[in-house]
């Protein structure tokens, strides 16, 4: 059996937190088919830390406004959507158990500046973990291997001592490409599935009974 990891990197959306509704359906329903794709495309520079989210959304709405007589959403409406999510208390309990076992837990998540501020200042995420790697602060986003290479350089640890959990296979593979021990969590499997996914990285979790 492989040695336990010293550090465990946690994805947020799909692992520790979940949206309250279908964002794509909400956006398309408010403005029209294809609007969600345009919003998510506009968000990419903000996710990489190249521009503030507000700026790219203002530009997008200006373009859409020139195409249509009326745009039924404002920048504030769009920013509010990124605040509509909830922490999964059972997943947080697993994270807490991992920390109690002496493993440092750090967020490793794609988030733009608006969401980072909300997660830190409103939701208090800094109190849940030992540190955070947000894509907009790293300057690269998953699944770019540069995101994980930055983390390894910052941690100054051998890659095999670092674990990572994410719900998206492409992100897990990117982490593995630089030697990090990545595992995938299926959100539908709940806390028990999360424990099962993490046990190869933190064997002591096998003794954790989650109902």
Summarised one tens digit per residue, pLDDT across range 131-189 is 999 999 999 999 999 999 999 999 999 999 999 999 999 999 999 999 999 999 999 99
Helix, strand, coil percentages in the chain from 3-state DSSP, rounded to 5: 55, 15, 30
Band the pLDDT of 210: cuts 50, 70, 90. Answer: very low
Here the tokens at position 203 are: 């064997």
Distance between CA atoms of residues 139 and 158, nearest Å: 22
Residue 161's CB is within 10 A of a number of other CB atoms, namely 16
For residue 163, is the peptide bond before it cis, meaning its omega torsion is within 30 degrees of 0? Answer: no
Does residue 2 surpass a pLDDT of 80?
A: no
CA-atom Rg of the chain in angstroms: 18
How many CA atoms are closer than 13 Å to the CA of 133, on its beta-carbon side? 24
Does residue 1 surpass a pLDDT of 80?
A: no
Summarised one tens digit per residue, pLDDT across range 54-107 is 999 999 999 999 998 889 999 999 999 999 999 999 999 999 999 999 999 999
What does the mean pLDDT of the chain come to? 95
Secondary structure letter of residue 4 according to DSSP: P
Report the pLDDT value the prediction gives residue 211, as an integer from 0 to 100. 43
Band the pLDDT of 44: cuts 50, 70, 90. Answer: very high
Check if the beta carbon of residue 142 is closer than 8 Å to that of residue 166: yes
Report CA torsion sign: 131, 42, 173, 16.
Answer: positive
- Residue 5 phi/psi, 5-degree rounding, is -75, 155
Distance between CA atoms of residues 199 and 191, nearest Å: 12
Summarised one tens digit per residue, pLDDT across range 100-135 is 999 999 999 999 999 999 999 999 999 999 999 999
Is this model's pTM higher than 0.85 or not?
yes
């Amino acid at each position: 059996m492989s040695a336990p990891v010293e550090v465990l990197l946690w994805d947020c959306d799909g692992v520790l937190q979940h949206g309250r509704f279908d964002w794509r359906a909400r956006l398309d329903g408010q403005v029209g088919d294809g609007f969600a794709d345009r919003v998510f495309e506009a968000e990419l520079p903000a996710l990489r830390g190249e521009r503030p989210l507000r700026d790219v959304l203002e530009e997008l709405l200006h373009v859409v406004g020139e195409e249509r007589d009326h745009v039924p959403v404002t920048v504030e409406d769009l920013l509010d959507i990124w605040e509509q999510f909830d922490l999964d208390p059972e997943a947080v309990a697993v994270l807490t158990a991992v920390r109690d076992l002496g493993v440092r837990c750090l967020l490793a998540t794609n988030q733009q500046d608006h969401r980072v501020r909300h997660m830190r200042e409103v939701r208090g995420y800094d109190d849940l973990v030992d540190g955070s790697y947000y894509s907009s602060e790293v300057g690269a986003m998953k699944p770019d291997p540069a995101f994980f290479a930055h983390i390894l350089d910052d941690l100054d640890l051998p890659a095999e001592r670092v674990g990572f959990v994410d719900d998206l296979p492409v992100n897990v593979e990117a982490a593995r490409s630089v030697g990090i021990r990545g595992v995938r969590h299926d959100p539908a499997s709940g806390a028990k599935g999360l424990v099962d996914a993490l046990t190869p990285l933190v064997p002591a979790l096998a003794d954790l009974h989650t109902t």
